[in-house]
């Protein structure tokens, strides 16, 4: 079994390396411990991750894309609730080129295509929200995480996006995200550990600490049950979602709740919700539960798409199966 090593660059950035001999490609990931929970304005994390691939001081977006394609190098950036991640995957012989592109993207992005990217992002969110299921989950998330960093749902981002500026993006990225105290590199492949550390130190070891803010993420208070509805007179199907605050991924109860989720509704045809509400009662074609694992807390949900006249029956069915646990 391959082991891994944990080292630090001269400015404190952690580097995790794992050697995988005789493999043709190398994967490098940079995790930045920010994500949506560090947003002062909803959507700035996702907008930042999109803009990082839209050109640098040395390369336009088109030039960057062409250079990646011509060298068969994958490069992407994504943002989640608890982190932002830049990832690249490339052939061993393209190591130097991939590092050049990764460094240029992370250190020299201009973010100047912000208005064009905002327009594209707004359009994509609007299309997603055309789905009644997506809209139902959006409503749940912003309700259960009301005034909470995890509650920046699609609709909240849509409200915020028109007001976001280049300065908002630059502050979020350079002051909160791309700072040594929040950065961890992971490298896997047929690599030489000493070479990796030397190269990363040359390229990223001079980044200065920005004393980015820390975030104390509280558990949302839900003193009573809340029922929130979105009414559509022409809807042929009702989207019913019920949710609870769950344990974080590091909580001692997380394994038990993961097993509970599998039994209840995430294991497909054999799950209790599927057997009882779909097979036996014929209330829906699709019914399931899910557990979202986050750093500070979790979200357990149950979902069913059913005829509008069956809403109360489905809610009672949820309650019955949950009480059996």
Categorize the per-residue pLDDT at 57 as very low, low, confident or very high, splitting at 50, 70 and 90: very high
Topology agreement, domain 4-204 and domain 238-324: yes
Asked if residue 214 has pLDDT above 70, the reply is no
Query: Among all chains, which residue has been given the structure tokens 């580097």?
Result: 15
| 238-324 placed in CATH 3.30.830.10 | yes
Over residues 239-249, the pLDDT tens digits come to 999 999 999 99
What is the structure's pLDDT at 2?
Answer: 59
What is the structure's pLDDT at 95?
Answer: 96
Categorize the per-residue pLDDT at 212 as very low, low, confident or very high, splitting at 50, 70 and 90: low
CA–CA separation, 284 vs 317, rounded Å? 12
What is the structure's pLDDT at 210?
Answer: 72
Cβ contact 302:318 at 8 Å: yes
User: What is the arithmetic mean of pLDDT over 154-170?
Assistant: 96
3-state secondary structure at position 170: helix
Backbone dihedral angles phi then psi of residue 9, each to the nearest 5 degrees:
-75, 175
Asked if residue 268 has pLDDT above 90, the reply is no
What is the structure's pLDDT at 164?
Answer: 97
Q: What does the DSSP assignment read for 224-292?
A: S--------TT-SSEEEEEEEEE--TTSTTHHHHHHHHIIIIISGGGSHHIIIIIIIT---S-EEEEEE
Cβ contact 298:248 at 8 Å: yes
Long-range contacts made by residues 138-147, C-beta under 8 angstroms, separation at least 24? Answer: 139/228, 139/230, 139/241, 140/228, 140/241, 140/243, 140/301, 141/299, 143/226, 143/228, 144/220, 144/222, 144/243, 144/245, 144/299, 145/220, 146/220, 147/220
Asked if residue 78 has pLDDT above 80, the reply is yes
What is the structure's pLDDT at 310?
Answer: 92
Asked if residue 1 has pLDDT above 60, the reply is no
User: What is the arithmetic mean of pLDDT over 130-158?
Assistant: 93
CA–CA separation, 300 vs 277, rounded Å? 18
Asked if residue 320 has pLDDT above 60, the reply is yes
pLDDT cut 90: percent of the chain above it: 82
User: What is the arithmetic mean of pLDDT over 157-166?
Assistant: 96
What is the structure's pLDDT at 215?
Answer: 66
- Per-chain mean pLDDT for the chain: 92
What is the structure's pLDDT at 325?
Answer: 85
What is the structure's pLDDT at 126?
Answer: 97
What is the structure's pLDDT at 250?
Answer: 93
Helices vs. strands in the chain: H and E counts, helices first: 11, 9
Asked if residue 150 has pLDDT above 60, the reply is yes
- How do the domains of the chain map onto residue ranges? 4-204, 238-324
Fold for 4-204, please state it: Cytochrome Bc1 Complex; Chain A, domain 1 (3.30.830)
Asked if residue 98 has pLDDT above 90, the reply is yes
What is the structure's pLDDT at 232?
Answer: 75
Q: Compute how many other C-beta atoms are within 10 angstroms of the C-beta atom of residue 26.
A: 22
Cβ contact 190:92 at 8 Å: yes
Over residues 112-140, the pLDDT tens digits come to 899 999 999 999 999 999 999 999 999 99
């Amino acid at each position: 079994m391959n082991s891994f090593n944990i080292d630090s660059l001269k400015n404190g950035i952690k580097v995790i390396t794992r050697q995988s001999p005789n493999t043709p490609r190398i994967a490098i990931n940079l995790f930045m411990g920010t994500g949506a929970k560090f947003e002062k304005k909803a959507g700035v994390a996702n907008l930042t991750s999109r803009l990082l691939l839209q050109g640098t001081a040395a390369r336009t977006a088109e030039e960057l894309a062409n250079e990646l394609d011509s060298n068969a190098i994958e490069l992407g950036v994504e943002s989640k609730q608890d982190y932002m991640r830049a990832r690249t995957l490339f052939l061993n012989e393209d190591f130097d080129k991939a590092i050049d592109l990764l460094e240029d993207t992370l250190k020299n992005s201009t973010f100047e295509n912000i208005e064009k990217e905002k327009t594209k992002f707004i359009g994509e969110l609007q299309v997603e929200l055309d789905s009644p299921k997506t809209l139902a989950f959006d409503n749940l998330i912003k309700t259960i995480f009301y005034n909470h960093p995890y509650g920046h749902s699609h609709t909240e981002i849509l409200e915020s996006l028109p007001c976001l500026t280049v300065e908002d993006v630059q502050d979020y990225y350079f002051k909160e995200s791309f700072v040594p105290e929040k950065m961890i590199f992971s490298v896997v492949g047929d690599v030489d550990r000493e070479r990796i550390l030397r190269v990363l130190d040359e390229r990223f070891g001079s980044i200065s600490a920005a004393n980015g803010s820390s975030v104390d993420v509280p558990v949302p208070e839900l003193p009573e049950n809340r029922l929130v509805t979105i009414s559509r007179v022409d809807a042929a199907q009702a989207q019913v979602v019920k949710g609870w605050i769950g344990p974080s991924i590091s909580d001692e109860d997380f394994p038990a709740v993961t097993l509970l989720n599998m039994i209840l509704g995430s294991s497909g045809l054999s799950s209790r919700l599927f057997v009882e509400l779909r097979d036996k009662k014929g209330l829906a074609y699709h019914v399931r539960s899910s557990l979202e694992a986050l750093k500070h807390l979790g979200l357990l949900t149950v979902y069913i798409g059913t005829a509008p006249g069956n809403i109360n029956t489905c809610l009672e069915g949820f309650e019955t199966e949950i009480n059996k646990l």
